[in-house]
Amino acid sequence: MAKASKHKSALKEQDGVSQQETTNTSSIKAIKQKRKSQPTANDLVAEILKGNITALSRAITLIESKNTSHLEKANTIIKACLPHANQSIRIGITGVPGVGKSTFIEAFGKHLTAQNKKVAVLAIDPSSSLTKGSILGDKTRMEDLVKDKNAFIRPSPSGESLGGVARKTRETIILCEAAGFDTIIIETVGVGQSETAVHSMVDFFLLLKLAGAGDELQGIKRGIIEMADAIAINKADGDNLKKAKLAKVEFNRALHLYPKKESSWNPKVILCSALHNDGIDDIWKIIEEYIVLTSESGYLNQKRKDQNAFWLIQTIEEQLKGAFFNDSKIKEELQKQIQLIEADKTTPFAAADYLLSLNK
- Per-residue confidence (pLDDT) for residue 134, from 0 to 100: 40
pLDDT at 168: 82
Residue 163: the pLDDT is: 39
Q: Residues 250, 254, 255, 257: what is their CA dihedral angle, to the nearest 10 degrees?
A: 150
**Percent helix, strand, coil in the chain (nearest 5)?**
60, 10, 30
Q: What is the pTM of this model?
A: 0.81
Query: What are the boundaries of each domain within the chain?
Result: 38-84, 85-296, 309-358
Which residues are CB-contacts of 317 (< 8 A; sequence separation ≥ 6)?
none
Contact 46, 35 (CB under 8 A): no
Classified by CATH at the fold level, domain 38-84 comes out as: 1.20.5
Q: State the Cα–Cα distance between residues 249 and 234, nearest whole angstrom.
A: 14
pLDDT on residue 323: 87
User: If the chain, 360 residues long, is cut into consecutive pieces of 10 residues, what is the mean pLDDT of each piece?
Assistant: 55 57 61 67 96 95 85 93 94 88 94 96 65 46 86 77 62 95 88 73 93 55 80 93 92 85 93 95 97 96 92 84 89 95 96 90
38-84 and 85-296 share one fold = no
The dihedral formed by the CA atoms of 126, 130, 131 and 137, expressed in degrees to the nearest 10: -20
Pick the CATH number of 85-296 from 3.50.50.60, 3.40.1170.10, 3.40.50.720, 3.40.50.300: 3.40.50.300
- Residue 94: which of 14, 192, 16 has the closest Cα? 192
Which residue spans within the chain are E strands per DSSP? 89-94, 119-125, 151-157, 183-187, 204-209, 230-233, 268-271
Query: Measured between alpha carbons, how far is 326 from 311 in angstroms, rounded to an integer?
Result: 22
pLDDT at residue number 164: 38
The residue among 250, 254, 200, 248 whose CA lies nearest residue 226 is 254
> pLDDT at position 14, please?
58
Q: What is the pLDDT of residue 37?
A: 67
CA-based R_g, the chain, Å: 26
Cα 261 to Cα 27, 54, 139, 205, 354, distances in angstroms: 61, 41, 35, 13, 44
Q: What is the pLDDT of residue 338?
A: 96
CA dihedral 336, 339, 345, 346 (to 10 degrees): 60
Please write down the long-range contacts of 38-43, taking CB distance under 8 Å and 24 or more positions apart: 41/73, 41/76, 41/77, 41/80, 42/80
